[in-house]
Amino acid sequence: MIELIKKVVKQILKLFRKPVPYLTAQISYLSPNERLKGKKIIITGGGRGLGEAMTRRFVAEGADVLIVGRDEESLKQTSLGVGCQYIRFDVTDFEHIEDFLKKANKLLGGANVLVNNAGISLHEGDIRNVSFEQFDKQINVNLKSSYFLSQKFLKLYEKNRCSKGSILFVSSVRGRYVDDIPYGLTKAAINSLTQGLSKLLVKNDIRINAVAPGVTASAMTGREVGGNMYAPQYATGRTYQPEEIAEIACFLICDASSCLSGQIIYCDNGNSVNSHRK
């Protein structure tokens, strides 16, 4: 009897619940024209989400791409579907980063672009809920792996006397603000690293930039790719699709953006701009 009453109450509540609007967006892409021909790119976390979208875009633009991650099944599916190479590797296996990069470099025939995309967010809410384990895990994946992958990549790049290379970090609009949880702190550090490396390497023929998306549909954010983009809590009223961010990433590593280094491109329609306007 109690269960029946619960079902009746749920049905009554549904009658008064406002329907959730379904929102899509008109997204435009540049036609492929081999903008990345000659680029040999390593993408961490390339098997799914934004990493997969970037892989598809980069291959369509003529790049040779190698993706890396822990989930071999998703890596294999993306590799077969897109036409790229892959290596199963955990980016937090710091002792073997150099070995991994040497193998990737050999498979690509001389890597000249590194995309530090692998990242996690554990959505703790605030500092009261953060454990030692959660803190260390996000620092290791989001910051420490990107730092030491970049370090070893730079050494390999300079040893091979490559040119017109770049390192692209995937940051977040969260990195623009003060924060008290590990995810935001790691992204703020990535922003600092992007500009610090750019200043250090300005004369080394290698550019360092970052793309910083707003909330983008992925497994990490719990938003379905190609699904409802409606998000009233954001000033723009919507989330973003990974293909949109991949388009910006493509521009940042192509030679047409050769005058850009040390730039952090916030992809949120200006939502993160510091303004008195709401």
Measured CA to CA in angstroms, residue 183 lies from 45, 84, 89, 135, 169 at distances of 16, 30, 22, 9, 15
Helix (H, G, I), strand (E, B) or coil at 229: coil
Q: Is residue 183 annotated as a catalytic residue, yes or no?
A: yes
Per-residue buried b or exposed e for 103-133, using 16+ beta carbons within 10 Å of the residue's own CB: ebbeebeebbbbbbbbbbbbebeeeeebeee
Q: Which of 86, 157, 183, 266 is catalytic?
A: 183
Residue 267 tokens read as 């992809």
Query: Distance (Å, rounded) from C-alpha 102 to C-alpha 165?
Result: 17
Residue 254 tokens read as 């192509």
Residue with token string 């384990």: 133
Bridge partners (DSSP) of residue 266 are 212
Per-residue buried b or exposed e for 28-49, using 16+ beta carbons within 10 Å of the residue's own CB: eeeeeeebbeebbbbbbbbbbb
The residues assigned a catalytic role are: 183
